[in-house]
A and B are shown apart, each in its own frame.
Chain A
C-alpha cells in the first residue's frame, strides 16, 4: 500500500485521502469488521477532522498537525534490537512487555503475560470475534470525535487483552509504543493503533502504556485504547507520554465500568509537540469508582491538551479527577473536564479539580471544567486554579536558609509530586519521579534532597 495523503492546504482536504485509506483497509478484513469500518468511515466523513470551531478543540490548533503529508505506518517498517530499548526499561520492575514499533507488534521484543489471553489485535479479530465485535461497535457507534472515528475506520494493529472472570494478572502489562520516525525515509508517517482490553468480573489488571521516540522526524499517532471493566473488576491504566518534540499524539482512552468496578487512569504528559489526551469513562454500573489523575508538564512550544469526559450513568457512582499542569517557556496547557450525571445516576459523588502553575509569561493555560447534571440527589464539585507559587511558603523556606531558587524548585516539585503520590505502582512512581526531577528547574538540588 503506497497511498499517501495529499499535502492538505487545510484540514478538510485530508478527509478524502483518509477515507480512501479506510476503504482499502475495510476491504481487507472479515465481513463483520468491514461493516464496522465502513460505518465508522461514514461517520468520520460526516464529521471530518476537528477545527478550532469545534467547542471540544477550541484551544488546540491542529494546523501544524495536519500539515504534513503522512504515509501510512505500513510504509515505515523499522527493525530494532532489545539494546535499542534498554533506555526505556524501569529499573527493578517486574512487568510483562508488549512492544510496538511504528504501530506494529514486535513479538521478538516482547515478553507477554501468561495468565491472561493476549494477542495482537490483527490475530484476535479472527479468533475472538465474539468478544471483540460488540466492543468495537460500541465505541465506533458512540464516538463523537473525528480522530477517534478515524481510528475506528482505519483500525490498525494493537493489542487485545482478555482477563477472564476472576483472573488477577500477576504482573503489570507494559505496552511500549516506539516510534522510529526515520524509518519512512524522512517522510512523516501516521499510525492508528487500537488496544482492546476486557477485564471480566472480579478480574484485576494493571496496564502501562508508554509512548517514546528513537531518532528525529515528524509523525502522528492517533491511538484509541478501550477498556471494559466487568463487575467488581479492578483496572489501572497508566499513560506515559515521553515522545520527541516533533511528535503529534492524539490519544483516547475509553473506560466502560460495571457494577462495583474500580478503575484508575493516570496520565503523565512530558513529551510530544502536540498531545491530546482524551479520557472518557462511563460509569455504567452501580457503585462504580473511578479515579482520574494526571500531570502535564510543558516546555518549549509544547501543546498539551487534556480532555476528560466522565459519564455517570448509574447510581452511587464515585468519580474523582485531579489534573495538574506546570507550563514553562511558550508551552500551552489545556484542561477541559466534563462531568455528566444522567437522570438515573442518583447519589453520585463527582469531584474534579484542575490546578495550574505558570512558570513563564509566554506560557498559556486554558481550563474549562464543566458540569452537566440531570439528577438531583448528587454531590458534584469542581474547582480550577491558576496561580503562582505561594510566597509565604517561599518565605518560610528562605527563613530556614534555603535560597529562593531552591525554595521555588522544591515548591514546584511538591506541586507535581501530589499527582505522583496517587499512583499505586511504586516502580512507576519512582521512575517518574526521577524523570520529573530531570525536567524541573534545579533538578540536581531536588535529587540531592530526595
Chain B
C-alpha cells in the first residue's frame, strides 16, 4: 500500500513545473481545477491507478464540454465559477457551539416545528453533542448487523480501496463519465459518497441512511453514490433529511447510480431541504444539479425513486430508470415545492428496453410566492419493449399569482404494443375547500397546509414511515408566509 501511495504522490508531484505544489500532506486543495487537482484528490484518497485514470478521462472530457443552458429557469442563475471552488478539503469540523442558546432562534423554531429531538437538533445545528447521544455507537451497532447480513455499506472511497472489483465493475456503467456536464465534473473530482452492495438473495435488514454513516456529517459537494443490489436482493436507501442544512458550498453536483440485477429491488428516497436563498431575492441559495439514474439490469428488477424537494435555490435533476430487464419496473414519485424565488426543473426519464416493462410517474409540483416549478420528463419506449406500459400523472398547484407552474413531458414511442398515458393538471387551491375548513374552525393557513398535504399524499405514502411524517411537517413549514 505504501509503495503505491508513494508512487501516486510521485506522479502528483511531477506536475510541479506547472506551478502548484502538490503536497500530499496538505489538508485542502487551493481553489481551481486542473489535472493536478484531480491527481491530488486521487492521491489523497489513496486510489489505485485505474481510478485515477478514470477521473482524468472524465476531466479531459469535461474540458471539451459546455455548460448546458436548456433548463426552464425564468430567473436564470449567476455564473458558476468552476475555478473558484476548492475541490478537495479534508472533512473539517464545523465550528462547534457550546449550547443551543448560541444557535439562531429562527432555526430552533423550525426544528421545533419539525419535531426534531433535542439531541438531533444540536447535531444539526453544529452543537457539540454530549455523551448520551452517541451517534458513533449507534452506527457501530448498525454496522455489525449489516455485516452479519453480508451488506457492504461504506463510503465510496473505502469501497474503492476495499472492494475495487465491485466498484470497477459498476462505477460509471449507469452514468458514464461523459454523460453530462455536471456528471462529468463529478466523475473527475468526486470526493465523498456512499457505496452499498447487497449480496444475492439478501433483504437488507434495515433502511440505510447516510445519516448513520460515520464521517457523513458534512454533505459533500460532489457526492458519488453507487448502490448495487445483486440477484433477489432488496434495499431501501434514505438520503438527506428534513432539517434545513447548513452548507457553505453553492454548487452541488452529485451523481447517484443504482444497479438492480435479476429480481432485485431498490427503493431510493430523498428529502432535500438545502438553503433556498433569500426569500425576496433568491441570493445565496444552493444550486442542486444532480444526476441520478438507476438501471434495472435483470429481469423482474424494480427501482423506485421518491423525492421531496423543498430546498435549494435551483433544483435541476431527473432521477431516471433504464428498464433493461424483462418485466422490470420503474417508479418515480415526486413532490417539488418552490417558494420565495426558488426554481425547480425536475422530473424523470423512463427508458423502456425490455419486454413487459412498466413505469409509473407521479409528480406533484407546488408553486408559491415567486417560485417556478417545472416538470420535465421523458418516457421512451424502444422497439423491443413489447407490451411496455407507462402511466404518468403530473399535477401542479399554484398559490398566489406571481408564481409559475410548467410541464414539459416528452413521450417517444416505437412499439405498437406500448401503452402510454400522460395526464397533467394545473389548478389553484379551491376557495370552497378553504371555506369548508374555515367553517370547521381551521384557520386559512392550516387549511392550505391540509389541502397541500392531501395533494401530496400519493407521494408521501411511498416514503418510509418516519420520513413521511417529517415530510408532512416540512411542507407545512415551507408553506408558511405564502398564504394570505
Q: How far is the CB of B96 from chain A (nearest CB, A)?
A: 45
Judged by a CB distance under 8 angstroms, whether B424 is at the interface is yes
A113 sits at the interface (CB 8 A): no
- B383 touching A361, Cβ below 8 Å: yes
- Chain B residues with CB under 8 Å of A371's CB are 396, 405-407, 424, 426
CA distance A376 to B427 in the complex (A): 7
**B434 CB → nearest A CB, Å:** 13
**Contact check: which of A358, A361, A368, A381 meets B426 at CB < 8 Å?**
A381
Write the chain B residue with the least CB distance to A375: B401
Closest to A344 in B: B401
What B residues does A374 contact at CB under 8 A? 404
- Asked if A366 is an interface residue, CB under 8 A from chain B, the answer is yes
Q: Report the Cα distance A343→B372, complex, angstroms.
A: 13
Is the beta-carbon distance between B415 and A376 smaller than 8 angstroms?
no
Taking CB atoms, residues of chain B closer than 8 Å to A369 are: 407, 409, 422, 424
Size of the A side of the interface (Cβ < 8 Å), in residues, is 35
CB neighbours of A106 from chain B (8 A): none
Write the nearest CB–CB distance from A307 to chain B, whole angstroms: 14
Residue of B nearest to A346 (CB): B401
Chain B residues with CB under 8 A of A368: 408-411
Scoring A residues 82 to 125 as 1 if CB is less than 8 Å from chain B, else 0, what string do you get? Answer: 00000000000000000000000000000000000000000000
Q: Would A358 and B418 be within 8 Å (CB), given that A55-B70, A376-B400, A384-B411 are in contact?
A: yes
* A384 in complex: contacting residue of B398, B406, B422, CB < 8 Å: B422
* Cα-based distance from A133 to B401 in the complex (angstroms): 36
- The reply to whether B416 and A363 contact each other, CB–CB distance below 8 Å, is yes
Contact with A along B62-82 (1 / 0, CB 8 A): 000000001010000000000
Chain A residue at smallest Cβ distance from B424: A382
A437 on interface, CB distance cutoff 8 Å: no
Chain A min CB distance to B459 (Å)? 19
Assuming the A-B contacts A367-B411, A369-B407, A371-B407, are A377 and B428 also in contact, with contact meaning beta carbons closer than 8 angstroms in the complex?
yes
A residues less than 8 Å from B418 (CB atoms): 358, 386-388
B416 touching A388, Cβ below 8 Å: yes
Q: How far is the CA of A365 from the CA of B408 in the complex (A)?
A: 16
Min Cβ gap A5→B in Å is 31
**How many angstroms from the CA of A382 to the CA of B407 in the assembled complex?**
9
- Asked if residues A365 and B422 are in contact (CB atoms below 8 Å), the reply is no
B85 at the interface (CB under 8 A from A): no
A159-203 vs B, CB cutoff 8 Å, 1 = contact: the mask equals: 000000000000000000000000000000000000000000000
A385 to B409, CA, bound (A): 12
Contacts of B414 in A (CB 8 A): 361, 363-364
Q: Is A249 an interface residue (CB 8 A)?
A: no
Note all chain B residues with C-beta closer than 8 A to A245: none
**Residue tally, chain B, CB below 8 Å to A:** 35
Set of chain B residues within 8 Å of A378, measured between Cβ atoms? 398, 426-428
Task: Note all chain B residues with C-beta closer than 8 A to A388.
Answer: 416-419
- A383 to chain B: closest residue by CB: B423
The number of inter-chain residue pairs (CB within 8 angstroms) is 113
A356 interface residue (CB < 8 Å to B) = yes
Complex Cα distance, B413 from A358, in Å, reads: 9
Q: Across the two chains, which residue of chain A brings its CB closest to B404?
A: A374
A255, CB-defined interface residue at 8 Å: no
Q: Does A34 contact B (CB under 8 A)?
A: no
A366 to B414, CA, bound (A): 9
Closest A residue by C-beta to B393? A383
Per the 8 Å Cβ criterion, residues 305-357 of A in contact with B are 343, 346, 356
Chain B residues lying within 8 Å of A361, measured Cβ to Cβ, are: 383, 414-416
Q: Return chain B residues, CB-CB under 8 Å to A363.
A: 414, 416
B399 at interface, CB cutoff 8 A: yes
Judge whether B420 is part of the interface by a CB distance below 8 angstroms.
yes
- Give complex CA distance A418, B400 in Å: 38
Q: How far is the CB of B39 from chain A (nearest CB, A)?
A: 35
A373 touches B405 (CB 8 A): yes
Say what secondary structure dominates the interface of chain B: strand
**A433 beta carbon closer than 8 Å to chain B:** no
Asked if A402 lies at the interface with its beta carbon under 8 angstroms from chain B, I say no
Determine whether A379 belongs to the interface, using a CB cutoff of 8 Å to chain B: yes
**B412: Cβ under 8 A from any A Cβ:** yes
- Which residues on B sit within 8 Å (CB–CB) of A346? 401
Q: Check A360 for interface membership: any CB of B closer than 8 A.
A: yes
* CB neighbours of B398 from chain A (8 A): 373, 375-376, 378
Chain B residues in 8 Å Cβ range of A56 = none
Q: Which of B331-390 contact A (CB under 8 A)?
A: 381, 383
Contact (A373, B396) CB under 8 Å given A55-B70, A366-B410, A383-B424:
yes
Tell me if A359 is interfacial: C-beta within 8 Å of chain B: yes
Contact A372 B401, beta carbon cutoff 8 Å: no
Task: Please state if B416 and A364 are interface contacts (CB–CB under 8 Å).
Answer: no
Chain B neighbourhood of A366, CB < 8 A: 410-413
Rounded to whole angstroms, the CA-CA distance of A382 and B403 in the bound complex is 20
A364 contacts which chain B residues (CB < 8 A)?
412-414
| Interface residue B421 (Cβ < 8 Å from any Cβ of A) | yes
Q: Which residues of B contact A387 (CB under 8 A)?
A: 418-421
Q: Which residues does chain B contribute within 8 Å of A372, judged by CB atoms?
A: 72, 404, 406
Closest to B72 in A: A372
Query: In the complex, are the beta carbons of B425 and A380 less than 8 A apart?
Result: yes
| CB <8 Å contact, B404 and A370 | no
Give every chain B residue within 8 A of A380 (Cβ-Cβ).
425-427
The reply to whether A376 and B417 form a contact with Cβ atoms under 8 Å apart is no
How far, in Å, is A240 (CB) from chain B's closest CB?
Answer: 27
Contact between chains at A386 and B407 (CB < 8 Å): no
A386:B411 contact, CB within 8 angstroms: yes
- A370 and B406 CA atoms in complex are apart in Å by 7
Give B479 Cβ to nearest chain A Cβ, in Å: 15
In the complex, what's the smallest C-beta–C-beta distance from B43 to chain A, in angstroms?
A: 40
**Alpha-carbon gap, A356 to B414, bound state (A):** 12
The 8 listed contacts between A and B (C-beta, < 8 Å) are: A361-B383, A364-B412, A370-B406, A373-B396, A375-B398, A377-B428, A378-B426, A382-B424
Given A379-B426, A380-B425, 18 more A-B residue pairs with CB atoms under 8 Å apart are A343-B401, A359-B416, A363-B414, A363-B416, A367-B410, A367-B422, A370-B409, A371-B406, A371-B407, A376-B400, A380-B426, A381-B425, A382-B422, A385-B422, A386-B413, A386-B420, A387-B420, A388-B417
